[in-house]
Amino acid sequence: MHPFIFKEILSVTMILFAIIDILGAIPVIIQLRQRAGHIESEKASIVVLVLMIVFLLVGDKLLDIIGLDVASFAIAGSLVIFIIAMEMILGIHLFKPDEDMANTVSIVPLAFPLIAGAGTMTTLLSLKSQYQTQDILVGIVINTLFVYLVLKNVQWLEKLFGKTGINILRKAFGIILLAIAIKLFRSNTHL
C-alpha cells in the first residue's frame, strides 16, 4: 500500500472541485428545490460519493460490459445538461414535474448527471492514470463533503441572493451550463 501523498490529494481535490463546480450549480439546485419542494442533501451526497467511487474503481469495465465508450456516455450527459441549461435560460419546464419528483430529484438530475456527471466520470478515469487510487478516494470524499455543505445550506443561499439575484444567476449560469454542454458534446464527437 502506497502512502498518502498530500500534494496528490490536493491536486485531485482541486481538479474534481473545478469539474463538479458545485458553486456554479447553486442556481440549478435552487431551481430544483423550488420545483420539488426540498432536496435531500444526505441522499444526494451519498449517491454522489457512491457513483464516483464505483466509477473510479470499475467505470471503464462497466462501460465495456454494456457496450458503451466514454465518449457516448459523455454525449448523453451533455444532452441532459443542455436541456437543464435551456430551462434556466428560457424560463421553461421541459422536465415535467410529477408526484415522484420530490422523491427522485435528489438523485436524478441532481446527483447524476449534474454533480457526478459525465465530465466528473471521465475526469476520474483520466486521474486514475496519473494518481494513486487512495489519493483520488480522499479527493472524492473531500469534494462530497463540500457538496453536502452546499446542498444543506441551499435555503440560506437562496435568502442571501434574493429572488432577483437568483433570477440573474439562473440566466447567467444557464448560459455557462449551455457552453459546458456544448464543449462536452464537441470534445466527444468527431464532427
40-71 per-position pLDDT tens digit: 999 999 999 999 999 999 988 888 899 988 77
Alpha-carbon distance of 115 to 48, in angstroms, equals 7
Q: Do residues 28 and 173 lie in contact, with contact meaning Cβ atoms separated by under 8 Å?
A: yes
pTM: 0.77
Grid cell in block for residue 186: 464537441
111-128 per-position pLDDT tens digit: 887 888 877 887 888 788
Alpha-carbon distance of 114 to 183, in angstroms, equals 15
Grid cell in block for residue 170: 439562473
One-letter amino acid at 177 equals L
129-181 per-position pLDDT tens digit: 788 999 999 999 999 999 999 999 988 988 888 888 878 888 887 888 788 77
